[in-house]
Amino acid sequence: MIKGVVLAGGEGKRLRPLTYYFQKCMIPIGHSQKPLLEYIIRLFKYNRISNILVLTGYKKEQITNYFNSGDRFGVQLNYVLDNPDLKGTGGAILNAYQCGAIEPDTDLLIYYGDIISTIDLNEMLEQHRKKCATATLALSRGLQVSVGVAEIKNGAVIGWTEKPKFEIDVGMGIVFLKTTAIHELERLNQHHNDLDIMTHLIPHLIKKGMLVNAYSTDAFWYDVGSVERYEKLDNSAIESRLEYLFQNKKNYE
């Protein structure tokens, strides 16, 4: 069984003042000004993931009022309200499990609610299962920084590169997890007040010798998690790259 899980409960502090008015996953994207979350849900649907759990909190009504049961998108949406006693992304997953919204023996697709992408989720899931991994991380090769980088020798700048791209593997905010990993979240929760999937769980799994698989992809992805990133978002590029998600919409709207 596969369940998509969207992390959509955060306050989006890096997107203020926009998030004083919007839930961050509801900010408008593209020329059609659809909510960011709609692109995520359509990506799930395109990849035949129709059982979706949305973990909500801040301004949850904006999400539930727009998407409701998910019928008009051809998916089944369920919602779990974050527990203030279980903080962080890891806490949100743990809360959903304790509420019974995540069944045992389920592959979970954890998708951060401020990421837009064309990733092939089916291919990623196939690799995750083939490797029998506890977790599989979606990774993109290369990181371009938004500032210039200096090369320094003896206190003097001897080289300068404006906005260089470093050939490193970067996490995309998309993770497959076996539900066995949730038991590790329960253990970690005893030691962390703000439990984070990437900061705490993934390093913990690696340390314990559990297989954390790498799924490397050159698919388009964009983190819309800050005002600067949102302002730089090219709506024309979004429309051209993601129009395929809307081509068959008449079949399920």
Q: In which band, very low, low, confident or very high, does the pLDDT at 151 lie, cut at 50, 70 and 90?
A: confident
At residue 202, the pLDDT reads 93
Q: Which of 79, 130, 139 is nearest to 107 (CA)?
A: 130
Q: How many CB atoms lie within 10 A of CB 106?
A: 17
pLDDT mean over 10-35: 85
pLDDT-based confidence at residue 215 (cuts at 50, 70, 90): very high
Position 213 pLDDT exceeds 60: yes
Domains identified in the chain and CATH numbers: 2-251 (3.90.550.10)
CA distance 152 to 107: 47
For residue 14, name the pLDDT band (cuts at 50, 70, 90).
confident
With a CB cutoff of 8 Å and minimum separation 6, the contacts of 205 are: 134, 135, 181, 184, 212
pLDDT at residue 253, as a whole number: 45
Asked whether 3 and 94 are in contact (CB, 8 A), the reply is no
Query: Are 10 and 24 spatial neighbours (Cβ–Cβ below 8 Å)?
Result: yes
Is a pLDDT exceeding 90 seen at residue 251?
no
Cα gap 224→245, rounded to integer Å: 19
- Report d(CA 22, CA 35) in Å as an integer: 10
Whether residue 56 contacts residue 45, with contact meaning beta carbons closer than 8 Å, is answered with no
Return the structure tokens found at 241.
């790259």
**pLDDT tens per residue, range 65-110:** 999 999 999 999 999 998 888 888 888 998 999 888 888 888 899 9
Residue that is written with structure tokens 């539900």 in the block = 179
What does the block give as tokens for 193? 């007040």
The predicted structure's pLDDT at residue 248: 64
Determine what percent of the chain is predicted with pLDDT higher than 70: 96
Q: Chain-centre distance of CA 64, in angstroms?
A: 19
The rounded distance, in Å, linking the Cα atoms of 143 and 76 is 35
Residue range 243-247: mean pLDDT, rounded: 86
- The mean pLDDT of 184-212, rounded to a whole number, is 89
Quote the DSSP letter at residue 51: E
Average pLDDT, the chain: 87
